[in-house]
A and B are shown apart, each in its own frame.
Chain A
């Protein structure tokens, strides 16, 4: 049988001399009708370039296909050569036969046009529909991707819809003309985990309904277990391994695939939590950080002159304590208030109410001037590009009134070595380092002042999966060595499982469940925690159907003077409690 898409020895290069600058170096695969192929790899592996080459969008990104063959079987059974096709022919293929969705739904849609107009465009171009017919078709398309109240939503502009909704709109556009192949390039990476589960469920359902084939590109091998039939693992432009899903997941042969499966954090329902540094060991010691009744509100004003009419309750009564040498992970989705909590602890946002107590650390260590330090999410934005590493590391010392003397320099050198960076790093600039190395620099900078608490705000989220694992290892080592307490803010349950001793689940500005990591992850009690954990993709869940749950997060905007009801807690086990639900 002829496959729907057959790619042979595909080579793609960039720049003036594409042959010498190949990013994809000989990739071959076949895709049958109705089959889903997952392409897995880290950034720079060439997975996206491969996908963009299939519909020849790569021509517009400065890439050039330097060799190989790509053949698409058309609906009438004819063979279409994607390599030699002219641009007008390709325009007819894109959208009609090959649909595509991208990573960032927020930037893939035009912000000034209504989503209705943008969906109709596809029908207008490929089916020649106009006016009322096009509108009706657009409404059907939105219904198909399970957007409630579709007729009204057609008139919305992208800013009025959430990321998950926008990704559904993107899918609706991609599927408008019933393409037989859908290319999904990291379609859920920018989305929250529960929204990711919804989109994955939707894609699986649509695939069943239409019988289309799909190429699913991702960095997360755990995500593909639920949807893929075949898996292709890519590393530096080559397909290092490909085969049936079960074969790859159970009997990976290539060392890189094994590495992706074993060394990279995968969620294991509380079976992979840490066993060192448990809380009871330090019973009786003073907490390194204690937060009591933290409230952060942002007043809402319609104009400069009017009075506040309400407030965004970003954080609404959060308490926790953090022992020396312990990691408390705050998990939640975007907009839950987890980052605001962290920033309030550092004084980067002003808290409306609440108190922080920063306790004394181990008597042996020197007292630090600023005991709480922070590592930020984006290693590319948190280092000033115009300063050398030496100036960057010196800044905390200068800021606290210290001098850059031989002792400071020795500390810089030892910290750099400790975080695994080359000795000659001091004279260099941030852009000379990779993302993982930059995050190590940020960690070194945070440790310059010898803090007792380090706030890690999504500190590994921007890193590639295997780099992520190494940075996590480093963090655990540093914690043991210096007795650091970590406040670890993350949305990624797999990462949290590796580093947390305790977990606080935050939802709509309030902690809904807090306790021992193993207990919270293996026996979640609050309905939101359950939902969150159920949405995490794992390699154990093959072809499992995620449930569609389109509940929206409640609005955090409250009228002026609103106070939430006092929380009531139910205790489960020694260190595990959940808020009672209304």
Chain B
């Protein structure tokens, strides 16, 4: 509750919070099937309708309602983005802290593995994993998660190394604090700011990577909807039916804006220096 109140007391947090909140609502409605039309029903007579009273965002080539598909697509894309970023954050933080704390051989080994992963372009690596494991929502989650793990590992390892050399860590050693206490209280707690920023960025990337996978036919499988799939379907009709591209594009753009604003707010709120001193 206190966090929520703090978010709404923060300028950009309020905007970001509202945007992300609205998206969550749309995602839930979309996943529960509470959409104006059925997102996969094809109304053959109403193909490629421009936005009007019945179809708020028009219809696509097969006569499906874009608004309904958008709602279902937000649900689908957000599921993939959230879980893959959660995967990457968790794995990257654990690996990064392990590399920084254990140092020497472990550091060398872990970071070289991450370098190998990073050497592949993100989409190529995700493609490889999905091809091996077969397409589907959860393979996309794992694939995108693995693709972004090295980035989190690096984002965590660098600052963790410098924190490890700080005097408060030395001080903790002099009282004999356990490694787990030092890693969680002294390292992890000070990594909150870079991690929050990274998470908001990664959510945006994950949305785009999911879109890319779907575009290549390896993410969400038609006729189910995802924002990426909708964008890729719109590509040939850009001139005749621009609404097919504009609405999913706007949906991605506004959600990324929302995540970034919310991330900035969280970073500030979680920093004790930004808190007002108790009187």
Interface members, chain B 252-279 (any A CB < 8 Å): 272-273, 275, 277-278
Q: Does B34 contact A (CB under 8 A)?
A: no
Q: Does B166 contact A (CB under 8 A)?
A: yes
Q: Is the CB of B167 within 8 A of A398?
A: no
Interface members, chain A 375-393 (any B CB < 8 Å): 376-378, 381-388, 391
Q: Is the CB of B168 within 8 A of A399?
A: no
Q: Does B185 contact A (CB under 8 A)?
A: yes
| Bitwise interface map of B from 174 to 205 toward A, beta carbon under 8 Å scored 1, else 0 | 11111001000110011010000000000000
Q: Does B171 contact A (CB under 8 A)?
A: yes
Q: Is the CB of A373 within 8 A of B174?
A: yes
Interface of A is mostly: loop
B115 contact set on A, CB distance < 8 A: none
Q: State A373–B272 Cα separation when bound (angstroms).
A: 27
Binding site for A on B (CB under 8 A): 166-168, 170-178, 181, 185-186, 189-190, 192, 272-273, 275, 277-278
Q: Is the CB of B192 within 8 A of A386?
A: yes
Q: Is the CB of A449 within 8 A of B175?
A: yes
A391-B185, A399-B181, A424-B278 in contact; A373/B167 too (CB < 8 A)? no
Q: Does A396 contact B (CB under 8 A)?
A: yes
Interface members, chain A 441-465 (any B CB < 8 Å): 442, 445, 448-449
What number of A residues sit within 8 Å (CB to CB) of B?
36
A369 contact set on B, CB distance < 8 A: 176
Q: Shortest distance in angstroms between A452's beta carbon and chain B's nearest beta carbon? A: 14
Q: Is the CB of A386 within 8 A of B272?
A: yes
Q: State A398–B180 Cα separation when bound (angstroms).
A: 12
B192 contact set on A, CB distance < 8 A: 386
Q: State A309–B277 Cα separation when bound (angstroms).
A: 54
Q: Shortest distance in angstroms between B135's beta carbon and chain A's nearest beta carbon? A: 42
* Chain B: CB-nearest residue to A387: B185
Q: Is the CB of A428 within 8 A of B277?
A: yes
* Chain A: CB-nearest residue to B279: A424
Q: State A376–B171 Cα separation when bound (angstroms).
A: 8
Q: 17 other contacts beyond A381-B167, A399-B181, with CB at 8 A cut-off? A: A343-B170, A346-B173, A370-B174, A377-B167, A382-B170, A384-B168, A384-B189, A385-B273, A386-B189, A386-B190, A395-B181, A395-B185, A428-B277, A428-B278, A429-B275, A432-B277, A442-B171
| B273 interface neighbour in A376, A398, A431, A448, Cβ under 8 Å | A431
B171 contact set on A, CB distance < 8 A: 374, 376, 382, 442, 445
Interface members, chain A 355-384 (any B CB < 8 Å): 369-370, 372-374, 376-378, 381-384
Q: State A20–B68 Cα separation when bound (angstroms).
A: 57
Q: Shortest distance in angstroms between B156's beta carbon and chain A's nearest beta carbon? A: 15
Q: State A514–B66 Cα separation when bound (angstroms).
A: 86
A396 contact set on B, CB distance < 8 A: 175, 177
A384 contact set on B, CB distance < 8 A: 168, 185-186, 189-190
Q: Is the CB of B189 within 8 A of A387?
A: yes
Q: Is the CB of B168 within 8 A of A383?
A: yes
Q: Is the CB of B186 within 8 A of A348?
A: no
Q: State A459–B185 Cα separation when bound (angstroms).
A: 24
| A431 interface neighbour in B167, B185, B272, Cβ under 8 Å | B272
Q: State A429–B276 Cα separation when bound (angstroms).
A: 10
Q: State A429–B168 Cα separation when bound (angstroms).
A: 14
Q: State A41–B170 Cα separation when bound (angstroms).
A: 33
B168 contact set on A, CB distance < 8 A: 381-384
Q: State A315–B189 Cα separation when bound (angstroms).
A: 35
B181 contact set on A, CB distance < 8 A: 395, 398-399
| Bitwise interface map of A from 332 to 369 toward B, beta carbon under 8 Å scored 1, else 0 | 00000000000100111000000000000000000001
Q: Is the CB of A373 within 8 A of B175?
A: yes
Q: State A436–B272 Cα separation when bound (angstroms).
A: 20
Q: Does A427 contact B (CB under 8 A)?
A: yes
18 A/B residue pairs, CB under 8 Å, sorted by A: A370-B175, A373-B174, A374-B171, A377-B167, A381-B168, A382-B167, A382-B168, A384-B189, A384-B190, A385-B273, A386-B189, A386-B272, A395-B175, A396-B175, A398-B181, A428-B277, A432-B277, A445-B171
Interface members, chain A 145-203 (any B CB < 8 Å): none
B175 contact set on A, CB distance < 8 A: 370, 373, 395-396, 399-400, 448-449
Q: Is the CB of B176 within 8 A of A376?
A: no
Q: Is the CB of A378 within 8 A of B167?
A: yes
Q: State A383–B186 Cα separation when bound (angstroms).
A: 10
Q: Shortest distance in angstroms between B168's beta carbon and chain A's nearest beta carbon? A: 5
A388 contact set on B, CB distance < 8 A: 272
Closest CB pairs A-B (n = 4): A396-B175, A382-B167, A399-B177, A429-B272
A382 contact set on B, CB distance < 8 A: 166-168, 170-171
B275 contact set on A, CB distance < 8 A: 429
Q: State A386–B192 Cα separation when bound (angstroms).
A: 10
Q: State A432–B275 Cα separation when bound (angstroms).
A: 10
**Which of A372, A382, A427, A442 counts the most chain B CB atoms within 10 A?**
A382
Q: Is the CB of A370 within 8 A of B176?
A: yes
**Which of A348, A378, A386 counts the most chain B CB atoms within 10 A?**
A386
Q: State A332–B168 Cα separation when bound (angstroms).
A: 24
Q: Is the CB of B189 within 8 A of A395?
A: no
Q: Shortest distance in angstroms between A205's beta carbon and chain B's nearest beta carbon? A: 39
A376 contact set on B, CB distance < 8 A: 167, 170-171
* Chain B: CB-nearest residue to A383: B168
Q: Is the CB of A398 within 8 A of B189?
A: no
* Chain B: CB-nearest residue to A424: B278
Q: State A253–B119 Cα separation when bound (angstroms).
A: 71
| A395 interface neighbour in B172, B277, B278, Cβ under 8 Å | B172
Q: Is the CB of B278 within 8 A of A427?
A: yes
* Chain B: CB-nearest residue to A304: B108
* Chain B: CB-nearest residue to A372: B174
A395 contact set on B, CB distance < 8 A: 172, 175, 177, 181, 185
Q: State A442–B166 Cα separation when bound (angstroms).
A: 14
* Chain B: CB-nearest residue to A400: B176
B273 contact set on A, CB distance < 8 A: 385, 429, 431
* Chain A: CB-nearest residue to B270: A386
* Chain B: CB-nearest residue to A429: B272
Q: State A442–B167 Cα separation when bound (angstroms).
A: 11
**Which of B175, B178, B181 counts the most chain A CB atoms within 10 A?**
B175
Q: State A442–B174 Cα separation when bound (angstroms).
A: 12
A343 contact set on B, CB distance < 8 A: 170
